[in-house]
A and B are shown apart, each in its own frame.
Chain A
Amino acid sequence: MSAHTLTAAKKPQPFSFGDWWSRNQRKVIPYIFLAPFLLSFAIFTVYPAGVALFLSFQRTRGFQQAEQGGGVVLEYKGWANYERLLTKDKRFREAMINGAEFWLGTLLVQMPLALAVALALNSPNIRFRVLGRLAFFAPYITSAVVVGWIFRFVYDQNFGWMNSALAQLGIEGPAWIRDVNFVMPSLIILGLWTWVGFNSLFFLAGLQNVPDDLKEAARIDGASTIRVFWHITIPFLRPVFVFVVVTGGIGSFSLFSQPYLLLDFPNTGPFDSGLFPLMYLYDMGFLNIRMGYASAIGYILTVVILIITGMQLLLFRLWKV
């Protein structure tokens, strides 16, 4: 090797890939390691995003004859799809409102419950800790299709377990997924079951970051348990709150499988009370073959989700976490 480099210093050697590689591999290898990601990003994210942008300004005018390929004939329509979605389309508005309602319902009930479960699991004298973690987490890893099916049967007006349990308490249960006023509560309960345990794990991880000596010191200074909780524990949990709010928002607007199964899609509940934006996108794109319109829905949803994510950054800044 050293003899080789000596001769190389005297006169120019023919280029050898092996030499070049052994000298430069450390510089080149990261790009090779990243190549699959970059390729996949270009093909399956950037390119489709461009196609979607193009499509979102088009309208399906008709279909080709079978001998020409049977494809969709498109026509440029400018901002018409967006305009229609944002001003005229009542179903889309309903879907967005449902997404927001689900998010709100989830936050108001789910966060306090998840925090309570985390506090319980974090307290030192708890029994069945392992069983608890398993039970609380199992719903999250269960397929949404399975969850949707189970709840469809559980919400059955006459034979479902929900109403039989209510009957035990002397309450006559509603028709749940067939009653316009109860579709959203049905979904929120399903959501609680699925995500309370999952979110409590994040609160639990957050609680374990609260330094014990800080709490101890406050207690020695005479602070009550509630004050310690409010002024020490809660501030330490801020990143978890932000995380739960933001992922909850993204999840709410892209809810699909659970309402699809629960309400037996293409049914979307009475008066679209269980229609969610992503379901509407699927409906428009694949059942109505209005690819352009569906792409515009995709873009509006992306903007909404970017705003929610932006909120995360803003909250982190404001709260100095």
Chain B
Amino acid sequence: MFKSERKSAMGASRVNILSMNTIVLVGVLLCAIPFVYMISASFRREGDLYKLPVTVYPREWTMHNFHTLFDKTEYVRWYGNTIFTASIRTVLGVYLAALAGAAFAKYEFRFKRFFFFLVLATLTLPFHMLLIPLFLLMRDFGWVDNYLAIIVPGMVNAFNIFLMRQYIESVPSELMDAARIDGASEIGMFHRIILPLVRPALGVVGILTFVWTWNDFLWPLVVLHDDAKYLLSNGIATMDGPYEVETGAIMAGSFLATLPIIIIFILMQRQIIAGLTQGAIRG
């Protein structure tokens, strides 16, 4: 009897393995299809794209769309603008988040709980609700069409502070006390003990910030009006307007804009996922 039970359990698990693999495989395919469309359309002429029957592969491969992109639009400039602003914002954002995280993780001070409550409060309140007054503020600062508007307002991010605090808590306090006895300054300790020990966390926060800035659309749409100043997101979003480019060129632009993000993700998969799921599960 025991034997037969075991047998049926094994049979069930074989079916189980098969169905689990099927779920994953079907899921992978469904996730891939829109990307396949994007890549395929990038290498097609418009006539090929809008011709029945619809085909997965281009009937004839062409680089035409990439030429349109580079010759008829400001695409290369948008790309440069995006790399520039996203990089600066990432470096500053990571550094400032680490500072605040260190304060919460390693020091006792008055109003600590209250300040941390403020961090949690900004975490839940979406930045977008203040779209109108923030735009007016940018106008008063003279930051419309200026990358300061992209870099500064969201630079000190609550989620990043929260993550950094979590990581910096793991830095041994004994190490810091020992350094204090040796006469190290608090700022020196931050740079020479804390930062090197949480380097992986800096990477996670940096990548999340970079990807987020790279993809953000609404805020650049509000503060950047001059199309030479556009970032990739608003450049690609308006490509059908003034440039009158075709579907293939829009998909080519999308493809090139997505590529670095996917490559970063492939290289840093484990860290990114760990960073994203960290805060959430603990509630």
**Shortest beta-carbon distance from B154 to chain A in Å:** 8
Judge whether A145 and B132 touch: CB under 8 Å: no
Cβ of A154 under 8 Å from chain B: yes
Cβ of A217 under 8 Å from chain B: no
**Shortest beta-carbon distance from B226 to chain A in Å:** 16
**Shortest beta-carbon distance from A55 to chain B in Å:** 7
Judge whether B129 and A206 touch: CB under 8 Å: no
Cβ of A267 under 8 Å from chain B: no
Cβ of B84 under 8 Å from chain A: no
**Shortest beta-carbon distance from A316 to chain B in Å:** 6
Cβ of A150 under 8 Å from chain B: yes
Closest residue of B by beta carbon distance from A35: B99
Q: A134-B266, A159-B49, A161-B33 are in contact. Are A52 and B258 (CB under 8 A)?
A: no
**Shortest beta-carbon distance from B101 to chain A in Å:** 9
Q: Give the residues from 180 to 208 in chain A that come closer than 8 angstroms, CB to CB, to chain B.
A: 193, 196-197, 201-202, 205-206
Cβ of A7 under 8 Å from chain B: no
Q: A159-B54, A254-B126 are in contact. Are A150 and B24 (CB under 8 A)?
A: no
Judge whether B115 and A34 touch: CB under 8 Å: yes
Cβ of A63 under 8 Å from chain B: no
Cβ of B170 under 8 Å from chain A: no
Residue numbers in B under 8 Å from A145 (CB-CB): 215, 217, 233-234, 236-237, 254
**Shortest beta-carbon distance from B195 to chain A in Å:** 12
Rounded to whole angstroms, the CA-CA distance of A129 and B153 in the bound complex is: 39
- Taking chain A's interface residues, is the majority helix, strand, or loop, or is none over half, making it mixed? helix
Q: A51-B133, A141-B261, A295-B132 are in contact. Are A120 and B23 (CB under 8 A)?
A: yes
Judge whether A135 and B31 touch: CB under 8 Å: yes
Residue numbers in A under 8 Å from B91 (CB-CB): none
Judge whether B96 and A37 touch: CB under 8 Å: yes
Determine, out of B35-43, B59-67, B68-76, B198-206, the stretch whose residues face the partner at the interface.
Answer: B35-43
Rounded to whole angstroms, the CA-CA distance of A29 and B130 in the bound complex is: 31
Q: Give the residues from 1 to 60 in chain A that come closer than 8 angstroms, CB to CB, to chain B.
A: 25-27, 29-31, 33-34, 36-38, 40-41, 43-45, 47-49, 51-52, 55
Residue numbers in A under 8 Å from B119 (CB-CB): 37
- Which has the most chain A C-beta neighbours within 10 Å: B20, B137, B258? B20
Cβ of A298 under 8 Å from chain B: yes
Q: A139-B31, A150-B251 are in contact. Are A302 and B125 (CB under 8 A)?
A: yes
Q: How many residues of A contact B (CB 8 A)?
A: 97
Rounded to whole angstroms, the CA-CA distance of A260 and B236 in the bound complex is: 13
Judge whether B96 and A136 touch: CB under 8 Å: no
Residue numbers in A under 8 Å from B254 (CB-CB): 143, 145-146, 149-150
Q: A41-B118, A143-B258 are in contact. Are A33 and B99 (CB under 8 A)?
A: yes
Rounded to whole angstroms, the CA-CA distance of A309 and B124 in the bound complex is: 7
Cβ of B1 under 8 Å from chain A: no
Judge whether A291 and B27 touch: CB under 8 Å: no
- Interchain CB contact (< 8 A) of B132 among A52, A144, A149: A52
- Interchain CB contact (< 8 A) of B247 among A36, A132, A153: A153
Q: Give the residues from 238 to 283 in chain B that come closer than 8 angstroms, CB to CB, to chain A.
A: 247, 250-251, 254, 257-258, 261-262, 265-266, 269, 273, 276-277, 280-283
Q: What 10 pairs between A and B have smallest CB-CB spacing? A: A48-B133, A33-B103, A51-B133, A30-B107, A30-B103, A143-B215, A164-B54, A135-B28, A146-B254, A29-B186
User: B residues within 8 Å of A by Cβ?
Assistant: 12, 16-17, 20-21, 23-25, 27-28, 30-35, 37-38, 41, 49-54, 96, 99-100, 102-103, 107, 109, 112, 115, 118-119, 122, 124-126, 128-137, 152-156, 161, 180, 185-187, 190, 211, 214-215, 217-218, 222, 232-234, 236-237, 247, 250-251, 254, 257-258, 261-262, 265-266, 269, 273, 276-277, 280-283
- A127-B24, A135-B28, A138-B265 provided; 5 other pairs, C-beta below 8 A? A52-B132, A153-B247, A209-B281, A294-B131, A295-B133
A-B contact pairs, 23 of them (CB 8 A): A26-B180, A37-B100, A37-B161, A48-B133, A49-B130, A51-B133, A55-B133, A120-B24, A133-B273, A134-B265, A142-B261, A143-B233, A143-B254, A146-B38, A154-B37, A158-B52, A201-B276, A209-B281, A243-B283, A278-B218, A281-B128, A305-B126, A316-B283
